[in-house]
Structure 1
């Protein structure tokens, strides 16, 4: 039997539209070589961004589903743990593999790691090939007409979307040939990706079903009607108006080409969906833009894209940070979002902006603190998106909202959660407050609070800052920085 082909899965945990797997299956059909699907839990020693707790939970269940799918095709998913080059080297010696295929990653540290692995394997005479499975357009393929990368989203997306013609997604292989001799694999349970002491993942289990099949089903359901109202509904946290495909994209259970073509097909079949589809694909474009930014600015997760903010005089406030993390700021829309995040591993995008603005502008805490918290608690944690979006809110990123744009949590709540349904869902101690007061309970008359069973300072906190004063403080500091520029 010819030497096996290793397909190294990473953040592409799917069988459909997986170019590395498709290439391996084609080569296998032509040569008779077995295919070894492989996932490596890479060592995170010294990695500034090791997997967060929510991501570890999702990874466990996504690998379960991928393992079942690979086994059904005939070749089980191999699990190995360790330093990638060492794991691959050992597996190559065990199986006499001559070919390793993978899909590219774009975070700077991972790109450098992959380049080093490729160089080492190529030096040993191994055929190494990589593919694009994660972006509609890779960073080095998009430039301004004048040359150089885009630094503003709107012209970036105008350029990309106008010329974009991504390949049609490929179907999963019909079968995979396994090696005659079984290859040893780790047990997924031994990786201890799931929380046990304590088990805090109950809300995640209630809210999500990881895996490729669930990803396809969720996208289909969204495009089967809800997408029509997406331009307005995506801002309503009290409604189920978003696609919720972000964690599935982050782990590659579904790819951007699949989303692009499915959305275009939906709009072609039902022209009334066209406006919603365009708005939805624009959000996919933001993901692309953030990945392109990270490619051109590897320091994006740690330092401001706009260096003028490098020494901004952020405050230190451990108590304020903890109140924000726990959803105890006294501002209901902020607290609802932070509690939704803790319980489900996800937060509505409009509320992410409100909560991020509160941390940065109201509390004057560095955006990196929020970025780290989201990285640990989001099931859709993605280095490029996380860094790019936090810097957007902070006003120090590319195409940034100006620093002087400060979200008013009361007005935002009243506009996008007018009846208070979102707040009631996640801040149940305010459930009986009338809609008039639910976004500003400190202004409610004493008899209203009493009737609602709310005692401020006991059942629900007083605001930890006064928004107008905090806003003025933040803007004064911004003006000082601008004057020095």
Structure 2
């Protein structure tokens, strides 16, 4: 019998412009072999449900259904990496190779290293491809081979490199070369996966490849204002493509090419967005070279700062009950939607670290559970930026004033009113600092601070001085 090649889907749930799948089909055109679609259901991700995991698995479910519609079965295989390999090879002993799109950083890289060793032991070839980023983690470095720690020179070098074009896969070829099996490889995996979907606490809408394409098209209509509106919390000013990019229902190449096509017409907006894509590449590069970043600050001089761990304050922050409306609106959006506007990510992270003086790692791990677009390298980089302990981070003496941030990026209070409804009837003049309402106005608007909404839980100016002292003591 001719060869069978497994395509292992991990965070690339699409049938077009998928690097491993494209290269597999090209191989099969020459060998006349077949391919089979695989998904590894790891117990450590399936046993703890949170918005991040629920959204991911529902995306997988939608992809599985889409594949089934065209006669392709996505096999769900449950267990450890070793069990995944064992079950697959027992069910398909003719399997000769596995193709997948690699993870260059974090737990994904650790898993890939194990898989490559286990497959080699069994005489199975494994071929991995760059797919999640436009450049590999080792591709953009300084002349001496050392990684950049400042974004601007990194961006200059990154911008000069040619970027890969989208890959077009023909649907009829996928069907022609697909290896059809009468039963699933792992009934236990199928059953476990069905239970995960059945027991999800919420149903996420607008998932998958076609929805991602629609979102990209919609974004191009506002791209000309991206550079001016992307920080305004109440505006539809950002791409909101990050959840689709995280799950890989759209490729980074497709997005990049589309933005380039618009650049001549929209100018600065496109350039600004491409810069944001480059930040994602920058953080991926940093995490590759500094794999300890999830546990410790990149900047050595700030690794032993005496961060707090106050459980009550951490809970106030998580629940959006800090008494600072813009912070609370951001945290409530996260809890409600599993997503948060990027400016709010900066504001809430700054507040946790510079106002509450709590450990940035607490926030990073909470975001890991809650964000449907969570990407390890980017999230770690963002938190270290806000906490002033990472590469090219905001200086430690720059402490966001939540009230001024609110006035600047939600001037009419529309964002606050959307997520903190107990304040929606207050005049805009007081929406950012409701504790400043006079007794007469409080009576007029039937509002009582600390009853209808919490008073500020800290004094910002006092905490700012403490934050600066914390960093000076660590130097």
TM (norm. structure 1) is 0.92
Match of 2:134 in 1: 136
| Counterpart check, 1:431 vs 2:434 | no
Contact kept in structure 1, 2:425 and 2:445, CA below 8 Å: yes
- Alpha-carbon shift at residue 338 of structure 1 (Å): 0.3
| Counterpart check, 1:463 vs 2:418 | no
Question: Deviation per CA, 1:27-46, whole angstroms, max 9, x where unpaired?
Answer: 3333332221111012429x
Contact kept in structure 2, 1:56 and 1:193, CA below 8 Å: no
Contact kept in structure 2, 1:17 and 1:133, CA below 8 Å: no
Aligned pair in 2 of structure 1 residues 472, 195: CA closer, same or farther (>3 Å)? farther
- Alpha-carbon shift at residue 191 of structure 1 (Å): 5.4
Alignment of 1:253-272 (within 5 A): 253-267=249-263, 271-272=264-265
Q: Distance in 2 between matches of 1:30 and 1:83?
A: 33
Indicate which of 334, 337, 361 corresponds to 2:354: 361
- Alpha-carbon shift at residue 93 of structure 1 (Å): 2.7
Match of 2:29 in 1: 29
- Alpha-carbon shift at residue 189 of structure 1 (Å): 6.0
Match of 2:39 in 1: 39
Contact kept in structure 2, 1:92 and 1:98, CA below 8 Å: no
Q: How many residues matched?
A: 469
Q: Distance in 2 between matches of 1:465 and 1:116?
A: 47
Q: Distance in 1 between matches of 2:233 and 2:451?
A: 27
Q: Distance in 2 between matches of 1:7 and 1:369?
A: 36
Aligned pair in 2 of structure 1 residues 179, 146: CA closer, same or farther (>3 Å)? closer
Indicate which of 69, 72, 83 corresponds to 2:69: 72
Aligned pair in 2 of structure 1 residues 52, 105: CA closer, same or farther (>3 Å)? farther
Indicate which of 125, 128, 146 corresponds to 1:127: 125
Contact kept in structure 1, 2:304 and 2:474, CA below 8 Å: no
- Alpha-carbon shift at residue 102 of structure 1 (Å): 0.5
Aligned pair in 2 of structure 1 residues 124, 161: CA closer, same or farther (>3 Å)? same
Aligned pair in 2 of structure 1 residues 276, 295: CA closer, same or farther (>3 Å)? same
Unaligned runs of 5+ residues in structure 2 are none
Q: Distance in 1 between matches of 2:150 and 2:86?
A: 42
Alignment of 1:45-56 (within 5 A): 53-56=50-53
Match of 2:396 in 1: 403
Match of 2:196 in 1: 193
Q: Distance in 1 between matches of 2:335 and 2:328?
A: 11
Match of 1:154 in 2: 152
- Alpha-carbon shift at residue 251 of structure 1 (Å): 1.2
Q: Distance in 2 between matches of 1:78 and 1:107?
A: 26
Worse-superposed segment, 86-95 or 150-159: 86-95
- Alpha-carbon shift at residue 161 of structure 1 (Å): 1.1
- Alpha-carbon shift at residue 453 of structure 1 (Å): 2.6
Question: Deviation per CA, 1:221-250, whole angstroms, max 9, x where unpaired?
Answer: 101x21110011110011111101111111
Indicate which of 46, 55, 61 corresponds to 1:58: 55
Q: Distance in 1 between matches of 2:183 and 2:97?
A: 16
Contact kept in structure 1, 2:76 and 2:193, CA below 8 Å: no
Q: Distance in 2 between matches of 1:441 and 1:200?
A: 34
Match of 2:10 in 1: 10
Question: Deviation per CA, 1:447-474, whole angstroms, max 9, x where unpaired?
Answer: 2222323211111000000111111111
Q: Secondary structure at the match of 1:130?
A: strand
- Alpha-carbon shift at residue 55 of structure 1 (Å): 1.7
